[in-house]
Every structure is written in structure tokens, then in C-alpha cells.
């Protein structure tokens, strides 16, 4: 068949596809466009493109058909599952299951964090001057201003401050968690460095504040939101390490395939990390800053840790896989 006959025969079909595409690409679907034959037209188009190549029709026609097909392909294979049921399933079991499936990596991440924290804290308790090797001068005085009973001035704190701190915690902490995860793709080094650094900082802060007599305000402040916050950072580190390890030791996979698989497995953990950090920011901004009896603070904090770990360890164990 000659090219012009070919074009004339299928022109109506291509026009119909173009109209359907114009409607679909604009998102809101106009009522007057008939999409009932879209998939059939698309399948015919695939055939027509192959024919036009086979028969050596002009390159312009081939390009036109290829472009049309690409656009149709992009519309046909676009799918959007409803968000709410997925979110419910995620919270009910997918997230804790994803965390447990990688428990070794989270354990390594947690150890890096806790060991560096413990080591630095022990060093500072032994020789208080060492705090300056971990935290610079401004950082030390900031810490003291924030927590020391004699220095801090909490009388003028109000709702607006809570909101400001909430924004700051989200911006800062979620950013750190995402970077910790991303750093993992550089053979795990990025994640490990962040975990060691954060652990050291926490250890230094805790030890120094204890030494200067600000231990109680510090612990009562951090205990409740510490559960979701520290856990989320550790999980982000574990996910990053998992990602990095897929490049270091891909096993029988191609490196890029191993990376892809690791990314698919770690993504649910990162969704959870995000939710945990939003929760932590809310607790930190709106609860941790309240002036309450230390007893109450420790109790609520303890419950918060217990609930979170009960959830991560046991939720979704008997659900549908």
C-alpha cells in the first residue's frame, strides 16, 4: 500500500486519538470527547507504526506515529490508586513489616548511634573539657541557654513560638533524615557518618548538661518526642545502609538491579520515617515545651517509647502479607 493511501485510510483514527489525548493531557475530561475506543485505537496504532517502519514510509510519518504512540502510552499506563486505603494498610502492617524485614541494618545503624553517643558521653563525664572537641563554643552556650534552669527564660513562650518551632523541626529533622537515607547510596558511608555524628552530638549534649546541672530539664524535654525522632533517624540510617550495601555486595544481581530492589524495599521505611518525624515535631513543639511535673513527663515519655516499639515489633504480624 502506498503511503498516501495508508495515511488516508487511518487518518480518522489518528485524529480521534489526537482528540482523546488532548482531552486526557488536560486532566479534566471534557464530556464531548468519546474515549471508548481509545485503547483499541492505541493498539491499532502500534500495528500501524510497525507497518510504516516495515514498508519504509517516510521518516516524518514514522516520527509522527511514534510521537502519537508515546503520548498515548503515557496516558494509558498512568494509574492512580486511591490514597486512603493504601495509607491505612501501610499503617496497619506494611510499615512495621518493612522495618522488621531489614532489622539487621537498623540494628547496625542504632549501634553506630548509641555506641558513639555512649563513648562521647563517657569521655566527657571523665574530662568535661572534651565537650569542646565535639560541640563548638556557640553550640555549648546555646545548649546551656536552652536547658539550664538558671539561664533559660520560658515565661514569654507562646503559641506562635510553638508554631515556629514546629516548622523548624520539620524543616530540620526531616531534611536530616532524608539526607541520611540518600547518603547511603554512596556505599553506605553517608549514612554511617551521619549516625556517628548525631550520636556523638547527643552524647555530648546529654553529658555536658548533666555536668552543669541541667540534666532534668533536658531529659524531661526530650524523652517524649525522642521516641519517634531518634527511632526515625535510626531507621533512615538503616535504610541508607541497606541501599549502600546493595552496591557494595549486589550478590547475583546486576548492581543497578540490586540498587533498584533495595530502593523498593526501603521506600516504605522512608514513608514511615517521614510520618514519625511529623509526629515527633508535633510532640516536640506542642507537648515537650510545656512546663509540667517531671514525674508526668517521664511517664508520658515512657509510654511513648513503649507504644512505638510495641507497634514496630508486633503490628502486622498476623495481617495479610
Q: What residue ranges bind another protein (CB under 8 A)?
A: 1-8, 11, 14-15, 18, 21-22, 25, 42-43, 46-47, 49-50, 53, 56-61, 64, 66-67, 69-71, 73-74, 77-79, 159-161, 163-168, 170-171, 174-175, 178-179, 181-186, 190, 243, 256, 259-260, 262-264, 267, 270
Q: Least distance to another protein from the beta carbon of 201, Å?
A: 20
The secondary structure element, H or E, covering residue 203 is helix 189-211
Q: Least distance to another protein from the beta carbon of 71, Å?
A: 7
Nearer to another protein, 38 or 219 (CB): 38
- What cell was used for 107? 540494628
Sign of CA dihedral 61, 66, 72, 76: positive
Q: Least distance to another protein from the beta carbon of 242, Å?
A: 12
Q: Least distance to another protein from the beta carbon of 193, Å?
A: 12
- C-beta of residue 120 within 8 angstroms of C-beta of residue 203: yes
153-198-110-286 Cα dihedral, nearest 10 degrees:
30
Q: Least distance to another protein from the beta carbon of 240, Å?
A: 9
Half-sphere exposure of 71 (CA within 13 A, CB side): 19
Using alpha carbons, select from 125, 142, 292 the residue that is nearest to residue 223. Answer: 292
Nearer to another protein, 76 or 308 (CB): 76
Q: Least distance to another protein from the beta carbon of 225, Å?
A: 16
Nearer to another protein, 166 or 298 (CB): 166
Using alpha carbons, select from 4, 7, 37 the residue that is nearest to residue 19. Answer: 37
d(CA 258, CA 248): 10
Using alpha carbons, select from 223, 226, 262, 266 the residue that is nearest to residue 246. Answer: 262
Nearer to another protein, 257 or 302 (CB): 257
- What cell was used for 240? 541508607
Nearer to another protein, 23 or 207 (CB): 23
Nearer to another protein, 74 or 317 (CB): 74
Buried b (16+ CB within 10 A) or exposed e, 226-256: bbbbbbbbbbbbbbbbbbbbbbeebeeeeee
Q: Least distance to another protein from the beta carbon of 73, Å?
A: 5
- C-beta of residue 10 within 8 angstroms of C-beta of residue 48: yes
- C-beta of residue 112 within 8 angstroms of C-beta of residue 237: yes
Nearer to another protein, 4 or 295 (CB): 4
Q: Least distance to another protein from the beta carbon of 74, Å?
A: 5
Q: Least distance to another protein from the beta carbon of 53, Å?
A: 8
For the residues of 102-153, what is the DSSP string, one character each?
THHHHHHHHHHHHHHHHHHHHHHHH-GGGHHHHS-HHHHHHHHHHH-TTT--
Amino acid at each position: 500500500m502506498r503511503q498516501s493511501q495508508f495515511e488516508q485510510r487511518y487518518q480518522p483514527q489518528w485524529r480521534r486519538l489526537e482528540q482523546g489525548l488532548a482531552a486526557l493531557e488536560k486532566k479534566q475530561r471534557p464530556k464531548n470527547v468519546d474515549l471508548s475506543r481509545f485503547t483499541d485505537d492505541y493498539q491499532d496504532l502500534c500495528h500501524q507504526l510497525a507497518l510504516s517502519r516495515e514498508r519504509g514510509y517516510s521518516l516524518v510519518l514514522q516520527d509522527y506515529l511514534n510521537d502519537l504512540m508515546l503520548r498515548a502510552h503515557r496516558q494509558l499506563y498512568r494509574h492512580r490508586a486511591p490514597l486512603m486505603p493504601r495509607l491505612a494498610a501501610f499503617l496497619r502492617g506494611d510499615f512495621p513489616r518493612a522495618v522488621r524485614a531489614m532489622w539487621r541494618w537498623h540494628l547496625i545503624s542504632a549501634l553506630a548511634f548509641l555506641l558513639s553517643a555512649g563513648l562521647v558521653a563517657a569521655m566527657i563525664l571523665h574530662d568535661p573539657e572534651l565537650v569542646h572537641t565535639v560541640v563548638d563554643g556557640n553550640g555549648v552556650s546555646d545548649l546551656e541557654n536552652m536547658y539550664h534552669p538558671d539561664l533559660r527564660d520560658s515565661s514569654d513562650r507562646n503559641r506562635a513560638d510553638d508554631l515556629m518551632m514546629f516548622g523548624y523541626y520539620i524543616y530540620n529533622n526531616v531534611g536530616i533524615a532524608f539526607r541520611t537515607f540518600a547518603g547511603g547510596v554512596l556505599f553506605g558511608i553517608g549514612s554511617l557518618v551521619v549516625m556517628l555524628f548525631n550520636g556523638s552530638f547527643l552524647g555530648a549534649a546529654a553529658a555536658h548538661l548533666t555536668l552543669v546541672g541541667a540534666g532534668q530539664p533536658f531529659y524531661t524535654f526530650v524523652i517524649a518526642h525522642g521516641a519517634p525522632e531518634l527511632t526515625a533517624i535510626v531507621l533512615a540510617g538503616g535504610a541508607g545502609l541497606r541501599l549502600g550495601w546493595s552496591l557494595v555486595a549486589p550478590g547475583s544481581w546486576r548492581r543497578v538491579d540490586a540498587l533498584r530492589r533495595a530502593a523498593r524495599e526501603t521506600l516504605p521505611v522512608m514513608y514511615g520515617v517521614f510520618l514519625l518525624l511529623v509526629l515527633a515535631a508535633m510532640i516536640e513543639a506542642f507537648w515537650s515545651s510545656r512546663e509540667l511535673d517531671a514525674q508526668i513527663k517521664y511517664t508520658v515519655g515512657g509510654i511513648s517509647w513503649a507504644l512505638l516499639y510495641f507497634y514496630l515489633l508486633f503490628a502486622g504480624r498476623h495481617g495479610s502479607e
